Structure 1
Amino acid sequence: MAMGKLSAAAVKSITRPGRWGDGDGLFLVVQPSGTKSWLCRVQKNGTRRDFGLGSATKVPLALARERAAEIRTWVEMGLDPILERQKAEGVPTFRLMAGQVIAALRKTWRNEKHEAQWMTTLEVYAFPRLGNVKVSEITGPMIREVLMAIWLSKPETARRVRQRIGTVLDWAYASGYRDSEAPMRAISKGLPRQPKKDNHFEAMDYDRVPAFLVKLSARESYGRFALHFAILTAARSGEVRGATWDEIDLEAKLWTIPKQRMKAQREHVVPLSTPAIRILERCAELRHPRCPLLFPGLRRNAPLSNMTLTQLLRDMKQTCTVHGFRSSFRDWVSEETQHPGDVAEAALAHLVKDKTEAAYRRGNLLQKRRIMMDDWAAFCCQNDSGRLDASASASESDLDHEE
């Protein structure tokens, strides 16, 4: 494969997730979140290995090509590129790498509390075991040992420690200090189930949500549309059941919920993913001209009852609650993504100290939330085409009434 398929301009302009080859085993890797990194794939004697070359925002194309050529030379000489790179560059310890990550993330945090929380959890729980270990040498069993000490006794803290260790090691991989990502998903599978909190809404494990949505979409009803829409938007049941068409801007892909319908008495703007838009388009096809509601109940101008969605879950043999899907979303953000926690909290319309409402509506935070909700929709719809047109010829009278 000849070198030079990519250009510096192309590296900046490519946004579609996937691997984009430059030639000779060099790839630009674009994640669904939009982050870009370099990867070099080398094969010798039937064995294939992948080497991270750093973030594409920090490593220009020319330097990535140089690093890839260096790695290929080492492999041909029978040398281990990881060891050679460590000798040449010096691999940071977990403590040093954590400091670099916190410094980089500081500009995205809204207040100093986030930095203090990061430092406290890492100093107390991670540094004693991992602090002086090179990031290239940290293994899954080491991470699991750290988490097991607090996994059952301090479950919420343990989940935060897991997310922060994973973030540090992901940065190390993107910076070229590790030849693989941290096996956080495998580690999570190897930990015991945490005890459920009293007085909390029971949630569905987020990794079960995609399969559940396939079953939910097998039939059409306003109750099913409403539940599907609630899951994709991480909204409360009452906010969805009371939603009206004048709150929707399909062109801008926004749902503006007036403050009088919000728990916190603040207007809340929800960026709508493509699957969420498809649900609304299907509801628009079935809409009665004089009905203002997105998801009307049996009485045309009255909303679905507060038991409709709950009964739907019971009929589908699920023990979780509608509200619990908000927890499913929050756990997914913490455990599977690098989206900041304050962005997830904003998506859930939780109160934050910064009272600048414009940040929710038109600022950078809304754009970050849009990316996050698109990622959530992609995760939720991974087992389904996302189309709601299997019964596109159905009339309103053909809907299943589950109220």
Structure 2
Amino acid sequence: MPRTLQRLSALTVKTANRPGYYCDGGGLYLQVSKAGAKSWVFRYRRNGRARELGLGALLLTPLSTARKKAEAMRLTLGQGQEPVATREAARREAANRMTFSECATAYITAHRRGWSNPKHAEQWQSTLDTYAVPVFGPIDVSQVDTHQVIRALEPIWQAKTETASRLRGRIERILAWATTRGYRTGENPARWRGHLDTLLPKPGAIKDVAHHAALPYADAADFMATLAAEAGTAAKALRFAILTACRTNEVIGATWAEVDIASSVWAIPGHRMKAGKEHRVPLSRAALKLLAGLTPGQPTDYIFPGAKNGKPLSNMAMLNTLKRMERSDLTVHGFRSTFRDWAAEATSFPRELAEKALAHTVRSEVEAAYQRGDLLQKRREMMEHWAAHCAAS
């Protein structure tokens, strides 16, 4: 009795060179093209119609693999299903799948331009790569569940609470993106309220929120006198940051084109501001004197250039100046708190002036509606008083 399956030998498959079909049985054929290329096909009939389904090139699909694929096709037919339709459905399903890591990359790419801080994307990626990806990065995003999220968060929830809290929020946003895109369904396993808050202690209950170390405003003058004796661009940048009550990135990214000496105004464009809106800073006489002592460059040049040509000062440079002054107890951002405390406790300037000087977003919609201007002239008087306080002996 002739064999109905596995008719071809490995030698036949290797030596077959005449164009045509070589039957292995059970619908499996080795196809040799006119050009001599070899591939596997599965041939069958459905509703009186002859059909042919490719199973892969011989170079990538050995005989044993082709036979397993053909067996799967016969099983599909035996179940009354259409092999072509079944494979197309599988392909569509695979095309609609993404791993968590792939979704994270896509989310960061989509939002990168909307983040004002260029390093924000790096921070997102670094946090996810360190804590989330090792746990469920390669997993289909539709399969990420509460158990896996907890496995990523619990090891650092007590020791690195702030990092863990940020990680949870980032995972939640990525999973929400995946749901909107159709890659997963159901509730978000990383949501906090009514879900993870029943499994993890509240971040605030673990430890008090750590604020940036700030200099008491009464010590501002002595500190500024010591700082003035420090050499280097970073020390000057720190003095400028204190006099203007601005953030590190706002100061180190400043260019000469942003400063109008004639009107004593430094206009920081919106793309460099945390709130995304232009912020005008009235420059005190002390701030203008500091700028006058610098070497002016082209409009596009940085006011506080770094060591590398065309690059700004490092965002760690001012902090390193504090360390060099043996003031590791302070942070650059903390001087904004020093200014705010001074304005609230040592002056009669309205609260909104200090908030405007710090470029804080007004939280009250009613207050925002009546404060459409930036109160520049009123802030100018306050900044002169602040500079005088910093220079008092």
TM interval, short-chain normalised:
0.3 to 0.5
Structure number, greater radius of gyration = 2
TM-score after normalising by structure 1: 0.43
